[in-house]
Amino acid sequence: MLARRGLCKDILLLLGIMLCMGSAGLRAQEESAEEKQYREDYDRTQKLVAISDPVKRADQLIIFIKERPNSKLIDYAQAHLFQVLDSLVKSENVQPLLTLSDRFIKLRPRVGETYYFYGSGLKMERKFPEAMDALAKCYVLRNRISTKAKEFLEYIYKGQHQGSLVGLDKIIKKAQDEIGK
């Protein structure tokens, strides 16, 4: 009888160990699925940032961000997109700058930096009211270039209003209302 109790305890212990191992195996499978997705995203973004044509690269990065909105590499892809937009500003390549910026604003309207690039392109096109609206949105959305956006906004505004900043607050208020802040 004692041997039987010992055998039952051993069987229960083995069953407990097997259950623990089974649940650990499920967790390992879940982690590996997450790791697999990360690896796929990583490989894809590496191919995208290697594209030599900056406009095509930016286009593909926008597609990636749209298709994989929860990827852990969104910030990485977005940073590369901003590098392309910045290079388009510096080279004064307006049409792709406006097109790509507009597409990304429609995709992620709360990413303030994009409004800066869009406003820069609009200024190059001499569309001053629209440029000021975009720069005000960049400023209102508080991001790493908000201060730069406000300075650029003030520069354009002064140029359009004989050096005065009177009324600039209305543009900023309008941007706040449109953004919902």
Please, what is the average pLDDT of the chain? 89
In tens, the pLDDT along 100-119 reads: 999 999 999 999 999 999 99
Q: How many domains does the chain have?
A: 1
* Rounded CA separation 117/137 (Å): 11
In tens, the pLDDT along 142-164 reads: 999 999 999 999 999 999 999 99
What CATH code is carried by the domain that includes residue 99?
1.25.40
Residue ranges making up the domain that contains 90: 2-179
DSSP character string of 126-156:
T-HHHHHHHHHHHHHT--TTHHHHHHHHHHH
Which one-letter DSSP state was computed for residue 164? -
- pLDDT band, residue 7 (cuts 50/70/90): low
CA 93 from centroid of its chain's CA atoms: 22
Residue 5 confidence (pLDDT) above 80: no
Q: Which residue has the tokens 């700058």?
A: 97
Per-residue CA distances from 161 to 11, 48, 59, 168, 173 (Å)? 87, 43, 37, 10, 18
